Structure 1
């Protein structure tokens, strides 16, 4: 008979993937919404901003409530929010329900990133070594990729392209909830719920000298990822010349999917070396993305996007490792909150600005702005991580 702990590990892993899959399911349909329901580029950018802001709120305010309410309870709440947001997306004819649905999904993803990730770690077999760490690292990007590609395939080949993927995902989320109920709780409920909801942003003194390089990397790479989420389908239509939802899904996945491999590449290499190499490759890849957009070349665009995703994953992982190495165990939660606040702000703020500019500028010129941001981040990284030359007599 399968133990409840093993059920819990499988249920938490499946839930983490499913929630992030649901959060990406609408993105390949953005161009359909834009053409059929007359949504603007600014409208679509606003939906991405709503998602990012909701994730930040959940991480900062609700990130520790599972220590007090229990992992299962908060996992069910995350699944419920994701399912509610996905159901809202079944009836999109204006921007308001799209914003609401994406915001609810963002809250679910934020809760999943904390509570369900902790549930995975708590439930992992003791003999599995680094399995839990690998699962929590890879599951979000795996979910985003599967959700986008699945949505694109169903939109192109299945009936009811505006609703089928959402109803299927709600069914998957409900199944995950059943498995969570069958799982064993891994923490004892403790008092202090309200106190745990006070945001804690703590940056260790030793980490502050590392912030210029790390922050520039977080802001530039996450901003570019946000560009794919907000404008990817529109770029596919306007610059690459196709309205295919499947190609739009491939565009989104081409940047996100390789990032986990980039994190693995960082490995045991010195963080500063990974930061410099990662950002140098990232800027070159972004230049390739821009050139491909200008030429309207789909395959080179996908290749350059994948290389940019790899470089992002490496640079981000190197920065995380450098910062976390300076923190004591009691400081890590506050430091992680600060890192994610910076990262999601990097995704939200530039996309909000780009959304406002999209009414007056082409998507290619907006993309150039992200390229400039990446180049500035590289210069800051090179300056902040340079090795001082030894003094000469």
Structure 2
């Protein structure tokens, strides 16, 4: 059932999107917001659930670090391509159809991953997850902003930027626990993911649409990268924040399984899931901490603390100290949440409904570029360099990005309503 809606735009991105139609009630708008958040969590929980299995694949099937890094890169490359080609499609077709299509692709990826017996199956399965995550990254995040409530004011930017990290953390921990303690260690987590995805589809089907269908869907698939002119001056620092933080996230996916086992002397899938979650989950909880600061100050503070966390991670790897590794990972994760949420808040400043999908496409294009390119380079270098040497390279990248952010962070252009 389709409900026609009239959308009254926000004056700024922090004011509420009001969906005024006599057939649409406030509870339905709240349902749409909750459904979009749950679906985005399901999306990235599915992506994160593969991480604790990487060590199983290495031990039982002989997969190499280089092979696993290829699977990580293929996922990111598929996401990038989807964002570039289909990132604006939900503006024309609607948020709900594109969101449901993304969940269907993720479901298919889980079906493939139920029987990983060769590196090619893992790569193809991760490819399908990347396609689904790419669609979700623009459609579901835009749906969240469309339906976000008025209060608290930071909820729109935090929910749209940090639900990804929360989902990855939930998927990794759940997967680690099931792999270590439950039957069917290579399949059960994917069956759980599939059930979660089906529930998400049902919730989206029960929720109202926020975008009217309009012509131009085919034209929107012509690759295009744009953000509103009023926030273009924010892109250089936003890029530094996203590239550096997401590159470390990809490092945790591709190399931490081997690092935890070889350097920190534990092979527990649950510990691996918790280590990965220690980087991702604090991001969602750290993000609101910067909500009372200007976007520029929040990015400076977030990146400064992020650099301290990465320095601690490097020290822990060199000294093989698990406790320091976990604490430093939590610091880096929480501080990246402050910086990423502030960068997202800046780009969404004053956004209208048609701005959101293209803006999120740009955000995630930059983010997945940060996840893809360094991971591809590091994967090739893993044949000649040790993991401690590789992580030092990520530390240098974090240092450069932090200096760039501290020197160049700026606020959105002022208007009569103020920045916030």
Q: Structure 2: how far apart are the matches of 1:211 and 1:119? A: 23
Picking from 58, 61, 82, the partner of 2:85 is 61
What does residue 166 of structure 1 align with? 190
Deviates more, 1:376-385 or 1:277-286: 376-385
Alignment partner of 1:303 is 2:327: yes
Per-residue displacement from partner, 1:220-250 (whole Å, max 9, x unpaired)? 2211111111112111111111111101101
Q: Structure 2: how far apart are the matches of 1:328 and 1:212? A: 22
RMSD: 2.8
Deviates more, 1:208-217 or 1:69-78: 208-217
Alignment partner of 1:289 is 2:300: no
User: Unpaired runs of 5+ in structure 1?
Assistant: 387-393
Alignment partner of 1:266 is 2:290: yes
Q: Structure 2: how far apart are the matches of 1:326 and 1:132? A: 13
Q: In the alignment, is the contact (CA less than 8 A) between 1:60 and 1:337 conserved in 2?
A: yes
Q: Structure 2: how far apart are the matches of 1:133 and 1:384? A: 21
How far is 1:37 from its partner?
A: 0.9
What does residue 88 of structure 1 align with? 112
Q: Structure 2: how far apart are the matches of 1:276 and 1:129? A: 21
Q: In the alignment, is the contact (CA less than 8 A) between 2:91 and 2:357 conserved in 1?
A: no
Picking from 143, 147, 156, the partner of 2:167 is 143
Picking from 242, 250, 267, the partner of 1:226 is 250
Q: In the alignment, is the contact (CA less than 8 A) between 1:218 and 1:316 conserved in 2?
A: yes
Q: 1:351 to 1:153 in 2, by over 3 A?
A: same
User: Unpaired runs of 5+ in structure 2?
Assistant: 1-24, 411-420
Per-residue displacement from partner, 1:186-244 (whole Å, max 9, x unpaired)? 43322211111123323566656544433322222211111111112111111111111
What does residue 216 of structure 2 align with? 192
What does residue 25 of structure 1 align with? 49
Q: Structure 2: how far apart are the matches of 1:3 and 1:324? A: 25
Structure showing the higher helix proportion among its residues: 1
Q: Structure 2: how far apart are the matches of 1:114 and 1:342? A: 13
Q: In the alignment, is the contact (CA less than 8 A) between 1:207 and 1:327 conserved in 2?
A: no
Per-residue displacement from partner, 1:133-171 (whole Å, max 9, x unpaired)? 554344222211111100000011100100011112112
What does residue 346 of structure 1 align with? 370
Alignment partner of 1:79 is 2:103: yes
How far is 1:267 from its partner?
A: 1.5
Deviates more, 1:311-320 or 1:277-286: 311-320
Q: Structure 2: how far apart are the matches of 1:29 and 1:315? A: 30
Q: In the alignment, is the contact (CA less than 8 A) between 1:202 and 1:331 conserved in 2?
A: no
Q: 1:190 to 1:206 in 2, by over 3 A?
A: closer
How far is 1:7 from its partner?
A: 4.7
How far is 1:172 from its partner?
A: 2.0
What does residue 72 of structure 2 align with? 48
Q: In the alignment, is the contact (CA less than 8 A) between 1:23 and 1:105 conserved in 2?
A: yes
Q: Normalising to structure 1: TM-score of the pair?
A: 0.89
Q: 1:92 to 1:194 in 2, by over 3 A?
A: same
Q: Structure 1: how far apart are the matches of 2:160 and 2:235? A: 25
Per-residue displacement from partner, 1:288-322 (whole Å, max 9, x unpaired)? 10111122222211110010112212222333444
What does residue 371 of structure 1 align with? 395
